[in-house]
Chain A
């Protein structure tokens, strides 16, 4: 627990901001802004059209209000839709930005990523990196590592802006096919003004040799972040993708509306893990990120599989339902979630599993932990279509509460055939004083005692995270709990 003493004063360690020279758009959301954004990125006409179509539809719809969250109305005209640090090329990243990521522990240079080994001096050239990373700072991707190594396997791993330029046919084929721009208000907004994000393509029969990681950093004030991620796994391929994020502690809300689309072809598998640590606001609920995210996977091919694992500790408000459309016969969808809320945080998160193909299978394990005055809602929908014969779903929702927090579980099941089986288990528990007393009586301090109970509670989900990420999630959870013990 020695690490704790460093963060005791400032529990959110990523809350600093970086002063750097930037190119910004003036605030406002208009058709001209959308065109200007598209022009700046030198996009082909079909992308501009994609954006404009979304923008026009946006004018006809309103934000969803069904979630158990509340926040001050967002003035979309007062936000800026583009902010990017100024630099000529990726070899010329300003020092202050390099420093930012060093402070956050994100390796921008490939040699740093090699477990701290300096390969320029090392005689051993055969060290295989474990993680390749794409780093997005506000509206732009500033570095993507190990692209060359991945290319040797035919894997494309780059920013979505680069993909639109270099692989337009592929982006055109898939963009908006899983999440149409008219899907919901925030997905529509994103479709109009998305700035950057990650594109991955794993070719037929390739097992991606390293974890692919995107790190999102919000830095600018009053700027929305609208990232767009698209991952395609072709027949018989496999990839494990990780996503991390942080933001400075500003006292106004920051809007983050992302769209993530995944497509798996025959027998392909995508494992998508998120550790979400956006700034949650202060103890009085001032500031913090509004995290309105649409994530969906299309298990298109037979026997394909998508696994969503998320550890959500940050954001003032979270509205997020990573989902799977199980279209291919025998396809599998999984959702493993740990959502921790404290102080005034509000989270409404869960998943949708839509069974279309025969013998499709889905598993949902959700662990909600709430402290203080926070509220934590699990919202799930399992729908088994008439033709989805012999399908199965297993859902388990557990919540752990302390203080005055609220936990809510809203599972919806729709089953339209007789050959499928749906199981649901739920539990709600208070973190008991008795357990904490017992653990402390053996010498554990209150933070460690809570951490033991909470880690145990989350174990099923943490086991699903890739190794490096599990350690990070554990650490993040400890730091989060540190502030929660009152």
Chain B
């Protein structure tokens, strides 16, 4: 689904990620690593954030990802949830989704219904669909809104950047339930989750774990017990 080969990322003259060769197939994958090693950079470099310089090769479903513009990457099936998505005045949460879905074969009734259903499950206020995108929203609300977008856009490869941070206990339970359901209902989906939340990791039954290191490299393993080891002894243990 998503394959990186000798993938290197430079931001403002600094090499943040160095020579990453990683492979993500269907199912759930966990990404871990100390603060500041470039986990978010990894996600946004794949999405094509302006001013990030990338080298190497990345394929999504066999297509050359790095040759694409940002919107083409999204259309090719990539999704990245933002930690702090930018506010857009005057554009409502649902209107934005409608814009994104206009080329797809989904009626307003279907997509609006689904939007409202997911919003209410996450405990978002009534009329959430009419609220302006990330305007006057709390950190948790923004996170939840990103997760609604994930489900509506239904990408083949989604990278979720710490989806659990900022969420309260109830919301985390909903998150775990919805993400479990998300991968179970369609086993062709690939979900790469940047998280250190053990409960989430256990529930989602990941296929691989990738650990990013301070020198910009990363290791990928299918030995899931590594997450337990890290939690007990820290990143130096691996």
Q: Does B153 contact A (CB under 8 A)?
A: yes
The distance from the CB of A366 to the nearest CB of chain B, in whole angstroms, is 15
B49 at the interface (CB under 8 A from A): yes
Chain A at the B interface: SS class = helix
A434 and B86 within 8 A (CB):
yes
Q: Which of A63-71, A243-251, A453-461 contacts B (4 or more CB under 8 A)?
A: A453-461
Q: Does any Cβ of A come within 8 Å of B109's Cβ?
A: no
Partner of B100, one of A432, A443, A460: A443
Secondary structure dominating the interface of B: mixed
Contact A442 B96 (CB under 8 A): yes
* Residue in chain B with minimal CB distance to A446: B71
Count A-B pairs with CB separation below 8 Å: 66
Query: Across the interface, do B70 and A437 meet the contact criterion of CB distance under 8 Å?
Result: yes
Stretch from B17-25, B87-95, B117-125, B173-181 contacting the other chain: B87-95
Report how far A291 CA is from B72 CA in the complex, Å.
41
Is the pair A445, B71 in contact by a Cβ cutoff of 8 Å?
Answer: yes
Q: Which of A440, A444, A448, A457 contacts B89 (CB 8 A)?
A: A457
User: Which B residues, 76 to 98, have Cβ-Cβ distances below 8 Å to chain A?
Assistant: 79-80, 82, 85-86, 88-91, 96
- Interface residue tally for chain A (C-beta within 8 Å): 24
Which of A432, A439, A452, A460 has the largest count of B CB atoms less than 10 A from its CB? A439
> Are A438 and B71 closer than 8 Å at their CB atoms?
no
Q: Does residue B208 face the partner (Cβ distance < 8 Å to A)?
A: no
Smallest beta-carbon distance A430→chain B, Å: 12
* B-contact bits for A445-481, CB 8 A (1 contact / 0 none): 1101100110111111000000000000000000000
CA distance A460 to B99 in the complex (A): 20
* B86: contacting residue among A432, A446, A459, A460, CB under 8 A: A432
8 smallest A-B Cβ distances: which pairs?
Answer: A456-B90, A459-B90, A443-B74, A440-B70, A456-B91, A440-B71, A435-B86, A442-B100
Q: Which one of B48, B80, B85, B99 contacts A448 once the chains associate, using CB atoms below 8 Å?
A: B99
Bound-complex Cα distance A452 to B94 (A): 13
Question: How far is it, in angstroms, between the C-alpha of A434 and the C-alpha of B70 when the chains are bound?
Answer: 12
- B149 at the binding interface (Cβ < 8 Å): yes
Is residue B201 within 8 Å, beta carbon to beta carbon, of the partner chain?
no
A444 partner, pick from B71, B132, B149, beta carbons under 8 A: B71
A residues within 8 Å of B by Cβ? 432-435, 437-446, 448-449, 452-453, 455-460
Residues of B39-89 whose CB lies within 8 A of A: 47-50, 69-71, 73-75, 79-80, 82, 85-86, 88-89
CA distance A439 to B153 in the complex (A): 13
Complexed CA–CA distance, A439 and B79 (Å): 12
Q: Is the CB of B70 within 8 A of A441?
A: yes
* B99 engages A435 (CB within 8 Å): no
CB pair A456–B100 under 8 Å, yes or no, is no
A453/B74 contact (C-beta < 8 A), A438-B82, A442-B149 known: no
Known interface pairs A440-B70, A452-B99; A433-B153 also in contact (CB < 8 Å): no
For the complex, what is the distance from the CA of A125 to the CA of B49, rounded to whole Å?
A: 59
* Contacting pair B86 A456 (CB below 8 A): no
Q: In the complex, what distance in Å separates the CA atom of A454 from the CA atom of B85? A: 18
- What residues of A have a CB within 8 angstroms of the CB of B85 in the complex? 438
Q: Which residues of A contact B91 (CB under 8 A)?
A: 452-453, 455-456
| A293 vs chain B, min Cβ distance (A) | 28
Q: Which of A435, A438, A446, A460 has the most CB of B within 10 A?
A: A438
Task: Determine the chain A residues whose CB is within 8 A of the CB of B69 once the complex forms.
Answer: 440, 445-446
Q: Which of A433, A443, A455 contacts B71 (CB 8 A)?
A: A443
Are B50 and A437 in contact, with the CB atoms below 8 A? yes
Contact B86 A444 (CB under 8 A): no
Q: Which residues of A have CB within 8 Å of B96?
A: 439, 442, 452
Which residues of the other chain, B, contact A433 by a CB distance below 8 angstroms? 50
Are B90 and A455 neighbours in the complex by a CB distance under 8 Å? Answer: yes
Report how far A440 CA is from B79 CA in the complex, Å: 11
Contacts of A449 in B (CB 8 A): 71
Q: Is the CB of A440 within 8 A of B88?
A: no
